[in-house]
């Protein structure tokens, strides 16, 4: 009998997807986390799914940047994080980065970056 491999899950393009994806080990943490680049028409459902994962207490601001790539409207989603209790913004950003990284949202896996 042949062993079956688990199905491969596609990934969302990283926020700022027109730039090369940085090696996660070489990224410098910041208080802004780049979540994904998605088709603009999916923005509301995608953002709602993200809010279910982290809630809104940590979020200072959702930042979106729209672009037209090859006739398709896409949106880069970034989240700017705020201090929570005794945790500073950078610590919260590192925690959110870990929670998002590799998580499947709307059928695809996230490749999270720092912005």
Whether the predicted pLDDT of 105 surpasses 60: yes
Inter-residue contact 114 to 93 (CB < 8 Å): yes
C-alpha separations of 95 from 5, 39, 70, 83 in Å: 31, 26, 35, 12
For the chain, the C-alpha Rg in angstroms (whole number) is 15
Which numeric CATH code is attached to 35-114? 3.30.70
Q: Tens digit of pLDDT for each residue in 14-39?
A: 887 666 555 666 778 888 889 999 99
CA-wise closest residue to 105 among 8, 6, 12: 12
Q: How far apart are CA 104 and CA 112, in angstroms?
A: 12
Global pTM reads 0.81
Identify any residues that bridge with 33 across adjacent strands, giving them in sequence order.
Answer: 79, 114
Inter-residue contact 73 to 39 (CB < 8 Å): yes
């Amino acid at each position: 009998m042949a062993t079956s491999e688990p199905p491969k899950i596609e990934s969302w393009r990283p926020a700022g997807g027109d730039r090369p994806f940085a090696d996660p080990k070489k990224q410098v943490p910041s208080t802004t986390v780049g979540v994904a680049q998605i088709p603009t028409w999916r923005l509301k459902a995608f953002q709602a799914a993200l809010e279910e994962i982290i809630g809104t207490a940590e979020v200072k601001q959702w930042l979106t940047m729209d672009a037209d790539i090859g006739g398709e409207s896409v949106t880069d989603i970034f989240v700017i994080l705020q201090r929570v209790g005794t945790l500073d913004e950078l610590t919260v950003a590192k925690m959110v980065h870990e929670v998002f990284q590799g998580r499947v949202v709307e059928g695809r896996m996230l490749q999270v970056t720092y912005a």
